[in-house]
Structure 1
Amino acid sequence: MENVVSLNSARPIVIGAGPAGLAATWTLKEAGLDPLALDREQVAFSTWRSYYPSMRMNSWRRLSHLPGMRLSAEFGPWPMRNDFLNYLRKYVEVLDPDIRFGTEVHRVDLEGGRWVLRSSIGELTTDHLVIATGLHRRTYVPDWPGLEDFEGEFLHARTYTVPEPFAGKDVLVVGCGPTGIDIAVAVAAAGASRVRMSIRHNPLLFKLSPLTSLLSQAVKHAKMPPRLVNRVSLLMHRMQWGDLSRYGLHPPTEGTLDGIARSGHTYGSIDRGLVDAVRDGVVEIVPGVNGFDRKAVLLDGGTSIKPDVVVSATGQRPGLEGLLGHLGVLAQPGGRPIAHGGQTAPHAPGLYFTGFRVPSGQIPDMAVDARAIARAVSGQRRLSGRWR
C-alpha cells in the first residue's frame, strides 16, 4: 500500500478503513476508479479489533457479505468477532486498497465545487468524498453529576474484554443495548456476586433470528410506513416475550422508529440471554442512573445502590460534528448524516455517507450503500455484484 499521496488528488477519497470504507473502496475500484482511503489509526478495521472476543454479529451471515466476497458458511449463521476479523483480513488482501494510515482529517469544506480536506498530511481535494467513519467513532458517557468523585471502579463498555476480572464483585451495567446485555450475562456467568442492569426506557427486545435481520433491512430499504414499522416492532416484542413486568422489564411504549426519533440512535436490541437471566434472578433490573455520590449510584425515584463496578454500556456516537458540523449535513439528535448511500444532500453534491444507518445491523447495509455510491460516482447504472 502506498504511503505517498498527491495532495491535490482528483481521485475519490474514502475516510475510514473499516468494513464500510473497505466496501466502498471495493465497488469504486470495480467501477474502474482509483479511490484513496484515509484512516486515523495504523491498521484497517481498528474498531472491530477492539471489540470483546465473545461478541457475536447481530446480522444474519447470509445478509452480511461485503461486496465481492462471501462470508464462509463455516462461521455459522451468526459469526463471532474473530470470524469477521479473519474475513476482513482476507478482504483487504484481495482488495489491495491504497490506504494512508495515521491520517487524521480535521475539517471538510466545499470550495469552488470541490471538497477540500484539511488533514494531518496537508490539504487534499476531490470531487467525490465518502465518509465511512462509522457510528462508533467516539464513546459516549452521560454527564452524570458526581461521576468524577465516584470511589468505585468505572469503565465504558468499549474497554471491556473478558468477564473473569468481575468474579466476586457487585456489578452495575448501565444500558440495555446488545453490548450491555452481553456483558451483564457474561459477568453473571463468570461469578460476579451480584449483577444489576440500569434501564431508563423500557427496552424493545427481539430474538436473534433471520427474520429479525430481514425485517431490519426492510425497514431501511423498502420505504415501509413509519406507523407500520412501529406497530410491527411492538407486536414482535409482545409475541416473543409476553409481559415481563414482574421481572422489571416493562412493556415498551415506543416502536423502533419512534425510539430512534427520540434518541437519534438505534432503539431495539437483540436479546442474547438477558430475558432468561432476569427470569432466573441472575440479573436484576433497576431504574435509570441519575448521578453518583462517592460510593453510591443515585437512581431514578430517589433510591441508591453501592456497586463495586459500574460498566457504562451507554453506546458510542459518530462524532462528526468537528469534521462536518458546519455543512448542514448532520441530523439532530444523534449527529448522523441526513443522506445515505448514493444519495447526497442537495447543497453537498459529491459527499456520500455509508455505515450510519439505523436500526441496528449495519453490515448488511454496507454492500447496498457501497454499490449505490459507486454507481453515483461513476455514472454506471449497474455494478456486477459478483462474488469471488
Structure 2
Amino acid sequence: MTIPNPIHHPHPDGPTQISQSSTALPARASTLIIGGGPSGLVSLKYAREYGPAWAEGEGPVLVEMEGDVGGTFRWRDYDNAELVSSKQLTCFSDFRPDHPSLPNFVEYLRSYASAFSLWPHIHLRLKVVSLSKIPPERVVDGYRHHAVLRRVLDDGSLAEGQDDIHLTCQRVVITTGLHVLPNIPVIPGLNDGTETIKSPAWIHSSEYKSRDQLRDKEVLVLGAGETGMDVAYESVLAPARKVWMGVRSGFLSFPKVLNNFRVLGSTFEGALPIDGLITNLFETAYVHPWVSASHLRWFVSDFVIRRVLWVLTGTQAGCNQWAGELPPERQGRAYVFLNKSAKAMQFINRPYASLSPLHRLFAHYQDPPLPEGVDDPTIHVVPFPSKFDHTGKAIFSPPPAHRSKEKAWKETCRPDLVVLCTGYRQEFGWLGQGYPRGPDECNVRGVCSDKDLSVAFIGFLRPGVGAIPPMAEMQIQLFLLLTTRSIPLPTTPENYHLLHAKGSRIQYGVDYSTYQATLARDMGAAPGLRELWWEYGWFVVMVYCFGAAFPTFYRLVGPYKSDKAAGIVRTELWDTIKRRGVVGNIFMGVIPMVFYAWVNCMAYLLEGAWILTRPLMGYQISDKVKMRVD
C-alpha cells in the first residue's frame, strides 16, 4: 500500500513547518536513498540532476526514519555544540550561505532542500527494515532491489508489520551515517550487571543535552574525542563539583581556528580555520605517484608543525596541549583525527603547563579568562577505568609511559555521573545477502563494490581534517558516473587512508585533501593549470594553487562543471586566502609549494632516469645470459 507522508516545508517567514504532503511513496523508484542527513540530501540532489533517466513517477526518493532532515546535526545536538569545520569545507559546492552555528547548519540543510526542490521527494518517518536482491530471472527494467519500509510512530516505535510498504528500485544509496548506534563499552561495576547501590549513574553522550545534567555533580567523562572535550568543558562551566576525563592512548588537540598566539608582545587574532590552510599545488595537484605513496607530504608537514608548535606554545604534543598526548611516534595528521574542540584544553593544562619566562617573552598561547563561580577549574586527566569497585570508586591502571606525569589516577575518583563519550557504531543487519556490510567491503574508493555498481555507501569515511558533507558530494558524483558506466573503474592506488594503529576500532579515516583530489582525478574533474588559465584567467589559477581542496574547485571543469563555481572561487574562496595575510601566505603557501615542487621534480627526474636506463640494463643482462649460453 502507499500512503501520504508528512514532510517539511520551510515557512518563508519563520521556522520549518510540518505539513502533509500529497506526494505518496511510489511503488518503484529509480534510486532509493536511505537517510536524510547531509549525505542523503546531496545524494538526492545529484540523483535528480545527473542520475540516469527514469520513467514518469519513478524518480529518485529519499526515506528518513526521523521526523525531520538533518541527521546527526539535528538529532545528536546538545546545548552549545559547535561545528568544528569551516564553512568553506562544510558547505556543498554550489550552495554557500553562512552557517556559523550548528543549529544554523540544520537550517542550511533545509534551505538546500528547498533551493533544489527536494522536499516532494523526501519521505519522513519511514524505516527500511529489510533490503534484498531480486533474483536475476525476475528483474525487470533493471529494478533489482526490493525494500520493505515500516512507518515510525510519534513515540519512536514501529508500526505493525501488516502495514509495511514495499518498494523496488534500480539502485540504492545508503547514507545512514557513522553516528547510528551508541558504542557502549562494558565496564565492570558500572554497566555489566554487577553494579551496586553505590555505583555511579551513567549515560552515553547521545543522551547528553545540557549543563543541567552536570551541575553540582562529580563527573567522569570517558573519551577524549570532540564530544568528550565538549562535555568536559561544559562540566566545568555547569559547574560540576569535580571533573575527570578518562583517556585511553591519547588525543591530538588543535583549535578549529588559529588565533590567540602572542608573539613578541602582539596577539595574533586572524581566526584562520586550520582545515583551509593546506595548499593545492604540489600537495594535492601535480603530485608524483611515488611521493603520494610514501606519504612524504604528511610526515614533512607533521615534522614542521610540531617544531612550530613548540616555538608558539612550548609543547609539541598538540597546539598548547600539555597532557593527554599520543605517543610521540603517532603525533601527526598521518595517524589520527585532529581533535578541534580545544575549549577544554585550558582546564586540562592547568596541572602540567610549564613555560619558561624567557620562552613566554617570545611567544605563548593566550588562554581566555577563567569563568567566574567555578571552584575547581581543572579537568583531571586519568586513564580509562578498568572497573568500579563496590563503593563506586573508579579503578585505574597506570597511564602509558609517555603520559607518566599524569598523577590524578592515584587519587580517589568516585563520580556521581559517568558520561560515555565513546562514539558510535554502525549496524547493517537489515541488508540481505549479497550486499557489502559497510564501506570496509567497498573496494572502489570506499563508495561501492566492483561486484555491484548499483549499491553505494555515501558519507561513511571520516577525514582527519575537514568535513564529511563535501566528501559525500564527491562520492555521489563518482557513484553516478560509475553506475552509468560513464567512467572506468579507478585503478590508481588508494594513498589517502590515515595510518591507523592496528587493532584500532576506527579504520575509516582518510586524509581529506588527498581523498578529494583522488576522486576528482577519477572523474576527470581535477583541473589542469593550463586549462584553468585558458578558460578562467590567471586569478582563478592563483586561488586554486593557494587554496585547499575546496569542493567548488572540482566543478570548474569535468562532468559536473557548474556556472556558479568561478564566481565562488573569485569571491568566497579568495577571501580565505586573503585572510592569511602576506606573511601567512608565504609560510603556508609559497614555502611549502617551493619545497614540494622540488620533491616532485626529483621524483619525476628519477622516474625518467629509471625509464631510460631500464632498456639498457635489460640489454646488458640479456647479453650476459647469451654469452653464458654460448
Deviation at 1:14, TM superposition (A): 0.4
Structure 1's consecutive aligned runs of 4 or more residues displaced over 6 angstroms after TM superposition are 216-219
Q: Of residues 420, 424, 448 in structure 2, which corresponds to 1:316?
A: 424
CA distance 1:147–1:49, change in 2 (3 Å): same
Counterpart check, 1:279 vs 2:309: no
Counterpart check, 1:170 vs 2:233: no
SS of match in other structure, 1:205:
coil
What is the alpha-carbon distance in structure 2 between the residues aligned to residue 115 and residue 216 of structure 1?
Answer: 43
Counterpart check, 1:297 vs 2:394: yes
Q: Of residues 293, 312, 330 in structure 2, which corresponds to 1:254?
A: 330
Aligned residues of 1:2 and 1:100 also touching (Cα < 8 A): no
SS of match in other structure, 2:463:
coil
SS of match in other structure, 1:43:
coil
Q: What is residue 559 of structure 2 aligned with on the other side?
A: 382
Counterpart check, 1:108 vs 2:216: no
Counterpart check, 1:195 vs 2:243: yes
What is the alpha-carbon distance in structure 2 between the residues aligned to residue 366 and residue 339 of structure 1?
Answer: 16
Q: What is residue 32 of structure 2 aligned with on the other side?
A: 13
Q: Of residues 229, 233, 251 in structure 2, which corresponds to 1:185?
A: 233
Q: What is residue 264 of structure 1 aligned with on the other side?
A: none
What is the alpha-carbon distance in structure 1 between the residues aligned to residue 561 and residue 131 of structure 2?
Answer: 32
SS of match in other structure, 2:230:
helix
Q: What is residue 415 of structure 2 aligned with on the other side?
A: 307
- After superposition, the CA RMSD in angstroms is 3.3
Q: Of residues 198, 205, 212 in structure 1, which corresponds to 2:275?
A: 212
Deviation at 1:324, TM superposition (A): 3.5
Deviation at 1:336, TM superposition (A): 5.0
Aligned residues of 1:59 and 1:213 also touching (Cα < 8 A): no
CA distance 1:297–1:342, change in 2 (3 Å): closer
Which range is displaced more, 20-29 or 207-216? 207-216
Aligned residues of 2:317 and 2:331 also touching (Cα < 8 A): no
Aligned residues of 2:218 and 2:417 also touching (Cα < 8 A): yes
Q: What is residue 358 of structure 2 aligned with on the other side?
A: none
Aligned residues of 1:199 and 1:288 also touching (Cα < 8 A): yes
Aligned residues of 2:214 and 2:240 also touching (Cα < 8 A): yes
Q: Of residues 363, 373, 383 in structure 1, which corresponds to 2:479?
A: 373
Q: Give the partner amino acid of 2:149.
A: S
Identity rate, percent: 23
Aligned residues of 1:164 and 1:187 also touching (Cα < 8 A): no
Question: Gapped runs of 5+ residues in structure 1?
Answer: 261-266
SS of match in other structure, 2:482:
helix
Deviation at 1:157, TM superposition (A): 1.0
Q: What is residue 231 of structure 1 aligned with on the other side?
A: 299
What is the alpha-carbon distance in structure 2 between the residues aligned to residue 94 and residue 59 of structure 1?
Answer: 23
Deviation at 1:201, TM superposition (A): 1.2
Q: What is residue 83 of structure 2 aligned with on the other side?
A: 57
SS of match in other structure, 1:198:
strand
Task: Kindly tell me the number of residue pairs found equivalent between the two proteins.
Answer: 370
Aligned residues of 1:205 and 1:237 also touching (Cα < 8 A): no
Counterpart check, 1:352 vs 2:456: yes
TM-score normalised per structure 1? 0.82
Counterpart check, 1:28 vs 2:47: yes
Deviation at 1:66, TM superposition (A): 2.2
Deviation at 1:10, TM superposition (A): 4.2
Q: Give the partner amino acid of 1:231.
A: F
CA distance 1:375–1:53, change in 2 (3 Å): farther
Aligned residues of 2:448 and 2:479 also touching (Cα < 8 A): no
Counterpart check, 1:4 vs 2:108: no
CA distance 1:233–1:57, change in 2 (3 Å): farther
The structure having more radius of gyration, on CA atoms, is 2
Q: Give the partner amino acid of 1:369.
A: Q
SS of match in other structure, 2:24:
coil
Q: Give the partner amino acid of 2:347.
A: A
Q: Give the partner amino acid of 2:183.
A: Y
CA distance 1:53–1:327, change in 2 (3 Å): farther
Q: Could you say which structure has the greater relative contact order, defined with CA pairs below 8 angstroms and 6 or more residues apart?
A: 1
What is the alpha-carbon distance in structure 1 between the residues aligned to residue 418 and residue 23 of structure 2?
Answer: 42
SS of match in other structure, 2:126:
coil
Deviation at 1:270, TM superposition (A): 1.6
Deviation at 1:362, TM superposition (A): 1.1
Question: Gapped runs of 5+ residues in structure 2?
Answer: 1-20, 54-58, 151-163, 258-272, 352-377, 399-408, 487-557, 566-630
Which range is displaced more, 55-64 or 373-382? 373-382
Deviations 1:254-277 (A, max 9, x none): 3678857xxxxxx44224223222
Deviation at 1:65, TM superposition (A): 1.5
Q: Give the partner amino acid of 2:88.
A: R
